[in-house]
Amino acid sequence: MKTYVARRLLALIPVILVVATVAFVLIHLAPGDPASIIAGPDASPDDVARIQRQLGLDAPFHVQLFRWYGRLARGDLGQSIFLRRPVLEAIVDRAEPTILLTLYATLIAVTLGVPAGVVAARHHDGTADQALMAGALVGISIPNFLLGLLLILVFSVRLGWFPVAGYVPLESGWLGTLRSLTLPAFALGVVQSALIARIARSAMLDVLREPFITAGRARGLSERAVVYKHALKNAMIPTITVIGISLAILISGSVIVEQVFNIPGLGRLIISAVLRRDYPVIQGVVLCIAGIYMLVNLAVDLSYVVFDPRIRYQ
Amino acid sequence: MKPAVLALGVVLALAAPEVVQPSEQPRTGGVLRAAMIGEPPTLDLHTTTAVIVQQITWHIYETLFTYDRQYNAVPMLADTHTVTDNGRTYLVKLRRGVKFHNGKELTSADVVASLRRWGRLATPGKAAWRNVEGVEAKDPYTVAMYLKEPSGSLLQVLARPNNGAAIYPKEIADGAGDQPIKEYIGTGPYRFVEHKPDRHIRLARFKDYVARTDPPNGPGGKRVAYLDEILFVPVPDVAVRLAGVETGEYHYGQQIKPDQYERVKTVRDIVPGIIKPAGWTTAVLNHKQGLMTDKRIRQAFQAALDMEPILAAGWGNKTFYRVDPSLMHVEQPQWYTKVGEDAYNQRNPAKAQKLLKDAGYAGQPVRWITTKEYEWMYKNALVARQQLEAAGFKIDLQVVDWATLVQRRNKPEVWDVFSTGITFNPDPAYNTGVQCNWPGWWCHEEKDRWLDAVARESEPSRRKAMWGKVQAIFYEDVGRVKFGDFFTLEVTRKELHGYHPTGEMAFWNVWLSK
């Protein structure tokens, strides 16, 4: 097991290198540059050129690329052009809201999605099943930014229960944080819960048709024990995989939701960086998110062991 | 104290009867939360023409001169000025006892260092500096500016808020050189406290602020910091800016969609404000390279267009646009002129077709860069394209993001037309709409001569006549294609008093009643 984890972690290095190169090349090939943004709309081309020189953006492409590799080797993601601070520091600073939002949204997705899937499977083709799956279809179809705006309209503007936007950091009280993240977490989580519900349902249906379930019922086990003890545990493997995938989707989904709800997280960081062509920040955040994806994948693979003792990693 | 406060109240009441009730007493205290469209790219006013930087930083920094309500230059940090040597030497006396936020007193050394840096780095500064021989400190409170030739626009350009000649302490201006400044210290009524990117920029009242004693008049005159703090919060989503003002989370929201105007008028507790004029919308033509270097093709472009539908598509509500040929707005009677109007809004596709035929145009695609980041730019372009294609043009509309647009427009080989807006300009001498060293490169010997003359001349009626010549050439030569004027919508909470909607956005002399 330990060697397996070590091997997987080592395998991160080449992937990181590829991501680093692709991120650098793509963003530098894209038109637009930070100097024009700093100089503003009325600036003359000479002013823009002067700022480019100051930023070192007049150097040839390969020189800039190797500078980037050099810094990366030293664990330095560089200096943000607009924030005037190290990229790593900016990322750490912005991680809190995004991590909390993602966890909160996952919690919502799982607590809504798994029971809904199980109930739907138990009442296969019944009214509850159809109602839940119709709900799930709506949930999957609605874009999260739209759901976000609708939630703001109802729960903030009409009812005044939650703030319209903004984020209260943990250090000023967790209740405030919870309040400020509730609407965005629902906007993100509801969509994912629909996905999880559908997978949980079909996984449950498959398991409920297995011979060991029939055997359990024949032995006179209560329906509760059959469904929750035996079937659910076996249906968890595909469900966990989907939860893992959805965690990753949530990280990228938070990009849009953070923009709508004005949450100063990684999503806002990368969007404003892209709009202003803050190259070091874009590269840094892309690398960071790629790393998180890979770690989540690893965690999902390892969690299979808990649910299915037959799985062994060597 | 009381009569002074009352007098101030009366002045404010006269200035904006729709906002301030005469019985209302200014109240000190409170934190104003302003929902801004985004983050400023820098807080160094010398280095950028981005409007949002001016809007935030002019609460922190002050300039030697500023504007009154009619956009005449009036002293701010300056006390008095005298012009000698046939208009070639300006002696500016500074107000005494003015403090920087770091406690240091303002002296001529700070002014000289700041003006030199501004003249070296700022776009309007560089333009003004072409005519400046030198600046020096005569004594601690007197600054001398020596010009190569007399100027009618020096005070105007020194009064400019956007990319303005902010006075920093000498150590900061000299210490930074051409690099961005690291400390944000000025003499303004509010001082910089912190910048948390994507969260807020926090300013607080500067308690040692030394205000002018003359009554407020536009940005000029006495400035009072009634608010304890101002928080500029970046709220990129327009719907969230409006919703936040409705619920009271923000007291101010900028750039609200005009189609919300009718609804906003009916919402309790919020007050719509219209910034009129905000600027004019335009298609900039490439005079350096490509199809548009042929005057007949430019004239065809101009002849084909029908402005009303172009503007209607961009703004929807008639309250927010105006079909008008003048490059300076009707609100600026000292500059407003209809010279050249025959060439504006011609709605004459037949004439365009003929011009294209004469020019031997054979359907080469006209590369037009536009952006959806400013929705009106895209919509203007969309309708204009239809009209142009009906007249025989072939338009290749390239929709990119704003960052791409502002970079590509510097490369004459990649475009023929791009969309932009020319923001409101108090003085035409530095209007980007007609400059030669700006993308589009509309350099025209006679136009540039008249433009120089406008900058030099100081007698108002002669300046206006000279500007009329520039506008005539603008239409004859088709410098750019003006679509029309536009105005912007912003919203404030009812408890915010003393605020006047202007493009510059000022929160001094503004207070919260709760």
Q: A156: which chain B residues are within 8 Å (Cβ-Cβ)?
A: 243, 247
Instruction: Extract the tokens encoding B66.
Output: 């500023």
**pLDDT score recorded for residue B15:** 43
CB contact at 8 A, B164 and B156: no
CB contact under 8 A, B233 and A262: yes
Q: B199: which chain A residues are within 8 Å (Cβ-Cβ)?
A: 167, 264
* Over residues B72-84, mean pLDDT: 95
CB contact under 8 A, B53 and A40: yes
Q: Considering only residues 299 to 358 of chain B, which have any Cβ-Cβ distance to chain A shorter than 8 Å?
A: none
Cα nearest neighbour of A168 on chain B: B199
Q: A268: which chain B residues are within 8 Å (Cβ-Cβ)?
A: 198
Q: Closest to B49 (Cβ–Cβ): which among A39, A262, A268?
A: A39
Interface test with A, best of B184, B240, B400 (most A CBs within 10 A): B240
Question: For residues A246 and A244, what is the distance between their CA atoms, to the nearest angstrom?
Answer: 5
CB contact under 8 A, B407 and A33: yes
Interface residue B412 vs chain A (CB under 8 A):
no
Provide the shortest C-alpha distance from residue B179 to chain A (in Å). Answer: 7
Mean pLDDT (chain A) is 86
Interface test with A, best of B51, B181, B198, B372 (most A CBs within 10 A): B198
Q: A45: which chain B residues are within 8 Å (Cβ-Cβ)?
A: 410, 437, 439
How many residues are present in chain A? 314
CB contact at 8 A, A147 and A194: no
* pLDDT above 90 coverage of chain B, percent: 77
Interface residue B432 vs chain A (CB under 8 A):
yes
Provide the shortest C-alpha distance from residue A291 to chain B (in Å). Answer: 24
Q: Considering only residues 71 to 100 of chain A, which have any Cβ-Cβ distance to chain B shorter than 8 Å?
A: 82-84, 90, 94
- HSE of B168, CA atoms in CB hemisphere, 13 A: 28
CB contact at 8 A, B71 and B332: yes
Interface residue A151 vs chain B (CB under 8 A):
no
**In this predicted model, what pLDDT tens digit does every residue of B416-459 receive, in sequence order?**
999 999 989 888 887 888 989 889 999 999 999 999 899 888 88
**pLDDT score recorded for residue A95:** 87
At the fourth CATH level, the homologous superfamily of domain B2-237+495-512 is: Periplasmic binding protein-like II (3.40.190.10)
**In this predicted model, what pLDDT tens digit does every residue of A228-287 receive, in sequence order?**
878 888 888 888 888 888 887 787 788 888 888 888 888 888 888 888 888 899 999 888
Per-residue pLDDT at B185 exceeds 90: yes
CATH code of B277-487, in short, is 3.10.105.10
Kind of pairing between the strands at B270-285 and B480-493? antiparallel
CB contact under 8 A, A84 and B180: yes
Interface residue A220 vs chain B (CB under 8 A):
no
Which residue stretches of B248-373 are H helix?
261-266, 295-304, 307-315, 349-358
- Model confidence band, residue B1 (pLDDT cutoffs 50, 70, 90): very low
B339-B342-B343-B347 Cα dihedral, nearest 10 degrees: 150
What stretch of H or E contains B275? strand B270-285
Identify the residue whose tokens are 């406008």: B454
Question: For residues A20 and B172, what is the distance between their CA atoms, to the nearest angstrom?
Answer: 37
Instruction: Extract the tokens encoding A233.
Output: 């545990």
Question: For residues B512 and B514, what is the distance between their CA atoms, to the nearest angstrom?
Answer: 5
**In this predicted model, what pLDDT tens digit does every residue of B458-491 receive, in sequence order?**
888 999 999 999 999 999 999 999 999 999 999 9
Q: A50: which chain B residues are within 8 Å (Cβ-Cβ)?
A: 121, 178
Q: Closest to B49 (Cβ–Cβ): which among A42, A54, A276?
A: A42
Comparing B2-237+495-512 with B277-487, is the CATH topology the same? no
Question: For residues B469 and B460, what is the distance between their CA atoms, to the nearest angstrom?
Answer: 15
Interface test with A, best of B249, B374, B407, B437 (most A CBs within 10 A): B407
Question: For residues B19 and A67, what is the distance between their CA atoms, to the nearest angstrom?
Answer: 56
Per-residue pLDDT at A76 exceeds 80: yes
Per-residue pLDDT at B12 exceeds 60: no
CB contact under 8 A, A272 and B38: yes
Q: DSSP strand E in B28-68: where?
A: 31-36, 65-67
Interface residue B201 vs chain A (CB under 8 A):
no
**In this predicted model, what pLDDT tens digit does every residue of B108-143 receive, in sequence order?**
999 999 999 999 999 889 889 989 999 999 999 999
**pLDDT score recorded for residue B507:** 97
For chain B, the structural domain boundaries read 2-237+495-512, 277-487
Give the residue, B394 or A205, on which the prediction is more confident: B394
Instruction: Extract the tokens encoding B204.
Output: 């607080």
CB contact under 8 A, A90 and B439: no
Interface residue B364 vs chain A (CB under 8 A):
no
Cα nearest neighbour of B199 on chain A: A264
Give the residue, B48 or A244, on which the prediction is more confident: B48
Q: A82: which chain B residues are within 8 Å (Cβ-Cβ)?
A: 39, 41-42, 197
- B58: closest CA among B48, B256, B337? B48
- Between chain A and chain B, the number of residue pairs with CB atoms below 8 A apart is 141
Per-residue pLDDT at A302 exceeds 90: no
Per-residue pLDDT at B21 exceeds 50: no
What stretch of H or E contains A146? helix A144-151
CB contact at 8 A, B49 and B40: no
Instruction: Give the Cβ contact number of residue A84 at 10 Å.
Output: 14
CB contact at 8 A, B69 and B218: yes
**pLDDT score recorded for residue A244:** 83
**pLDDT score recorded for residue B401:** 87
Interface residue A50 vs chain B (CB under 8 A):
yes
Distances (CA, A) of A200 to A235, A253, B128: 7, 21, 70
Task: Give exposure, B233-258, as e/b (b: 16+ Cβ within 10 Å).
Answer: bbbbbbbbbbbbbbbbbbbbbbbbbb
Supply the pTM of this predicted model. Answer: 0.83
Identify the residue whose tokens are 């005469």: B22
Domains of chain A: 93-278+291-307 (1.10.3720.10)
Per-residue pLDDT at B14 exceeds 80: no
